[in-house]
Amino acid sequence: MTKNNDLKTIWKAVLSELEISVSKPVFKTLFSQTFLISLSEKTAQIAIPNPVVKQMIKTRYEQLLINALQKQTNSTLSLDFQIKDPPHPKKNDLGPLFKTQDTTDSNPHHPQDPQKFGLNSNYTFQTLVVGNSNNFAHAAAQAIVENPGHAYNPFFVYGGVGVGKTHLIQAIGHAILSKNPSAKILYVSSETFTNELVRALQQKTITSFKNKYRHPFCLIVDDIQFISGKEYSQEEFFHTFNALHMAGRQIIITSDRKPEEIPQVEERLTSRFLGGLAVDVQPPDYEMRIGILKEKCSQLKTTLDQQSLELIAAKITTNVRYLEGALLQILSQSKAKGQQPDISFIKQFLGDKAQPNQSLSPNQIISSVSKYFSVKRQDLIGKSRKAQIVLPRQILMYLLRTELNIPLKKVGDILGGRDHTTIIHGHDKISKQYPENSKLRQQIIHIKQNIS
């Protein structure tokens, strides 16, 4: 067993390694309050301040942590995380997620109407279901409400279609408005930003445009990826961003992918996006899907029995929009037919068609992978050995197996007559990396959600 002084020295070196490997907000929030409890030949026991941080480190940074420890100890270790407070935490060093927060909307009747700021009255923290897929993003959002403009600025939320990004960011707007009723919140899509900029140029009202976008207390911009390739919009957004940031105003942005993966965006703008905290939101897991269905039923003032909820949650797995859409269709059709939306009706409604991927073809998956990575379809399924084709092809192997359950030999035939051992290697490589590689996971989710 390693002595305490040695543990401190080793952990200090590990933290120094991590500090240059992750962004400052991530390091401060996830790693600054960790410490090494014990170290044996096979296991490193690490203290983590709370379950949210533990989950985030395990799912996103565990391999990075293992690599840093291995450099210091020259041995391969497994990690044992323990929830434990730091021995002598310094108040000024605590990240925003460690502060006691209360973002409850204690005054739902705002002096200002949230809708005039573009906020949907249903998208609040009270109606947001929190689970494994969004717990870190939710905790960061709460920290922003406590200290807007300073906790995480900008706050960049990325994830696939229909996973709840818009709900989360609008909930921040509602909560800020509840705490500060005189605050000016502005929620827009990047398409609206671009359209209004074009109109301002045409009508020579650019000063009014700048006044609108450069003075809110909190600017929330949805789907920033649509600014891709629009040079003048990027130029104006860059100056808008700088004006707000220098004034200590909160900036919140969403995208369907990481900042650095948005194509045709100026590097200086990407660097601004990466200057705060970027978090991803994943599709909801089974338990979270049940919670979402219950919340939606509550909003609709209706009830379904647990068995029915479990059946819908088991069948609809892609995203929140599909899930809520299926529930609305079930309720409306049962009402139209004068039937109760019981388990038998739901079974009949869902049938075998609930899973969107059951009607997929290999060609659709090939096209989606080809489009996402901007590679030629023939290179992807042909004999090309270009380095940039390797990962897309392995992801294609993985998706053909997991989404369509195609036999190994047939996958090999689709991919230019490749041997089944090559298919096994490609599939297994992606399967192994998927749980711990957030970038890869986001790429696959995006590909699946954009299959047409």
Q: Quote the pTM value.
A: 0.64
Sign of CA dihedral 444, 446, 447, 452: positive
C-alpha distances in Å from residue 334, one per residue of 182, 329, 330, 346? 45, 8, 6, 9
Any idea which residue has 């194509």 for tokens? 263
Instruction: Give all strands of the β-sheet with 155-158 in edge-to-edge order.
Output: 185-189, 218-222, 250-255, 155-158, 277-280
Domains, in order of start, for the chain: 4-87 (3.30.300.180), 114-280 (3.40.50.300), 286-357 (1.10.8.60), 360-449 (1.10.1750.10)
pLDDT for 53-109, tens place per residue?
787 788 778 888 988 888 888 888 889 999 886 665 554 455 666 554 444 444 444
Q: Which pairing describes strands 155-158 and 250-255: parallel, antiparallel, or unpaired?
A: parallel
Q: Who contacts 74 (Cβ-Cβ below 8 Å, separation ≥6)?
A: none
Percent of the chain, pLDDT > 90?
40
pLDDT for 105-160, tens place per residue?
444 444 567 777 889 988 999 999 888 788 889 988 988 998 899 878 999 999 88
Any idea which residue has 């502005």 for tokens? 186
Lowest average pLDDT, out of 209-213, 277-281, 331-335, 437-441, goes to: 437-441
**Hey, what are 388's tokens?**
């940039």
Please give the biggest Cα pair distance in the chain.
Answer: 74
- Work out the mean pLDDT of the chain and round it to a whole number: 85
